[in-house]
Amino acid sequence: MNSNETLLEKPTQAMMPVGRMHMPDRKFIEEQFPEPVMPACAINKVLKGQKAIVTGGSSGIGKGVATALGHAGADVLVNYTSRAEEAEKVAEELRRCGSRAITCKADVSKEDQVQAMFKRAIEEFGTVDILINNAGLQKDAPVDQMTLAQWQQVLDVNLTGQFLCAREAIREFKRRGVRKDVSCAAGKIICISSVHEVIPWAGHVNYAASKGGVMLMMKSIAQEVAPHRIRVNSVAPGAIRTPINMQAWDTPEAYKDLLKLIPYKRIGEPIEIGRAAVWLASDDSDYIHGATIFVDGGMTLYPGFETGG
Ligand code: NAD
C-alpha cells in the first residue's frame, strides 16, 4: 500500500444505486452463470488538490462519479436541477471523506446557468481541473410519434449541455494553464456518453442521435485543444443500475431479458463508472486522449452472435 492509498472501498449509502437493491431472479442466475461478485478496490488519493464539476451529480451515475472523485481526493461541485436534498446528501458524503463539496442548481442546457455554475466553482475552489459532463435524459417515442419538443429537449440537455459545459471548462483551463503540483494536464473533460454512441436504438432516436453527437463532439474538441494539454475523453456506459433505465432491471423478467444483451451477465453499478472516470481524470491515463472507454460488460460485442450467430 503506498502513502496515497487508504482503505478498500466499501459501498456507502451515497455509493449505492438508487432504487431496490435486489438481484432479481437469483435462481435463474445461479442456475445459468457464476454468481456476480462485485470487486473491492483500493482507494488512492490520485486526484488530491483537484477541483471537479459533476453535472447531474445528485443521482445515478453522476452520484457514483462524484463520490468516486471525492474519495480520490478531489473537491467537487455537485450540480443538480431538482431535489436539492439529494445533491446535499452526496456533498455530505464527500465532506465526510475529507473533500470540499458544494451543490449548485443549474440547467446545463441554459448558457447563463452554466456560466453561473462555473463562476460559482471558481469563486469557491479557485479553479476547475475536471469536468464530468454527465447530465442526461431520455424522452422515448416511436419516431413517427416523437414530438419536436421530445427531440429538442434530449438534444438540448444531452448534447448542447455537454457543449456549453465543455466550452466553459476549456476557457478556464486555457486561462489558468497547467498546475504542475496537481496534474500534468491543464484540465480534463470526461463526457458520459453511452453504448448508443455506436449502437442504433429504435424508439430512442433522439437519445441515440445525442450520444452519437457526443462522440464526434468529444473527438473534435479533443483534436482542437490537445496542444493546450487539455485532455478530453468519454466513458460509454452499458446498462447501469440507475433511475433512467429502471424498467430494464426492476423485475425478474426485465432483468432476464437485459442479460441477453450483456455477455458478462450482470448489470453495472454507478461506482464502476466512477472508477473509470477517476482513472481518466488522473495522470495515470495522461496519454489517453480522444478515446471512448466502454464500461458495458461487453454490450458492444454483438451478444446476438455469442452462440455463433
Ligand atoms: P439519472 O436519471 O439518475 O441521472 C441523470 C441526471 O441528469 C439526473 O440527476 C438529472 O437531474 C440530471 N439532469 C437532467 N436534465 C438536466 C439538466 N437540464 N441540467 C442538469 N442536470 C440534468 O440517470 P443516469 O443513468 O445516472 O444517467 C447519467 C448519464 O449516464 C446520462 O448522460 C445517461 O445518458 C448516461 N447513461 C446511462 C446509462 C445507464 O444504463 N444508466 C447508460 C448509458 C449512458
What would the pLDDT profile of 7-17 be if each residue is shown by its tens digit? 445 444 444 33
Tell me how far the alpha carbon of residue 179 lies from the centroid of ligand 1, in angstroms.
30
d(CA 290, CA 154): 23
Does the annotation mark 80 as catalytic?
Answer: no
pLDDT for 37 equals 84
Tell me how far the alpha carbon of residue 4 lies from the centroid of ligand 1, in angstroms.
31
For residue 174, give its domain range: 44-295
Say if 307 falls within a structural domain. Answer: no
Which CATH number does the domain housing residue 192 bear?
A: 3.40.50.720
Candidate of 83, 242, 247, 261 to mutate for ligand 1, largest count of ligand atoms within 8 Å of Cβ: 242
Q: Is 137 in the pocket of ligand 1 (CB under 6 A)?
A: yes
Say if 247 falls within a structural domain. Answer: yes
Confidence of residue 1 (pLDDT cuts 50, 70, 90): very low
pLDDT for 35 equals 84
pLDDT for 5 equals 44
Among 207, 264, 287, 302, the one annotated catalytic: 207
Tell which wins on pLDDT, 33 or 114: 114
pLDDT for 306 equals 87
Count of structural domains, the chain: 1
Tell me how far the alpha carbon of residue 72 lies from the centroid of ligand 1, in angstroms.
22
Candidate of 53, 58, 59 to mutate for ligand 1, largest count of ligand atoms within 8 Å of Cβ: 59
Q: Is 244 in the pocket of ligand 1 (CB under 6 A)?
A: yes
Name the closest-CA residue to atom 44, ligand 1.
Answer: 194
Average pLDDT, the chain: 92
Q: Is 248 in the pocket of ligand 1 (CB under 6 A)?
A: no
Confidence of residue 27 (pLDDT cuts 50, 70, 90): low
Kindly tell me if the per-residue pLDDT of 3 is higher than 60: no
Name the closest-CA residue to atom 23, ligand 1.
Answer: 244
Kindly tell me if the per-residue pLDDT of 73 is higher than 60: yes
Say if 168 falls within a structural domain. Answer: yes
pLDDT for 11 equals 44
Residues 6+ apart with CB under 8 A from 31: none
Tell me how far the alpha carbon of residue 245 lies from the centroid of ligand 1, in angstroms.
10
Say if 239 falls within a structural domain. Answer: yes
What would the pLDDT profile of 130-176 be if each residue is shown by its tens digit? 999 999 999 999 999 999 999 999 999 999 999 999 999 999 999 99
Tell me how far the alpha carbon of residue 178 lies from the centroid of ligand 1, in angstroms.
30
Q: What angle do CA 70, 82, 214 make, to 5 degrees?
A: 70
Kindly tell me if the per-residue pLDDT of 24 is higher than 90: no
What's the pTM? 0.93
pLDDT for 28 equals 58
Percent of residues, the chain, with pLDDT higher than 70: 89
Say if 5 falls within a structural domain. Answer: no
pLDDT for 26 equals 58
Name the closest-CA residue to atom 12, ligand 1.
Answer: 56
What would the pLDDT profile of 166-176 be if each residue is shown by its tens digit? 999 999 999 99
Confidence of residue 31 (pLDDT cuts 50, 70, 90): low
Say if 14 falls within a structural domain. Answer: no
Say if 303 falls within a structural domain. Answer: no
Question: Is 78 in contact with 101 (CB distance < 8 Å)?
Answer: yes
Name the closest-CA residue to atom 32, ligand 1.
Answer: 136
Confidence of residue 81 (pLDDT cuts 50, 70, 90): very high
Atom of ligand 1 nearest to the CA of 108: 19
pLDDT for 43 equals 84
Tell me how far the alpha carbon of residue 243 lies from the centroid of ligand 1, in angstroms.
9
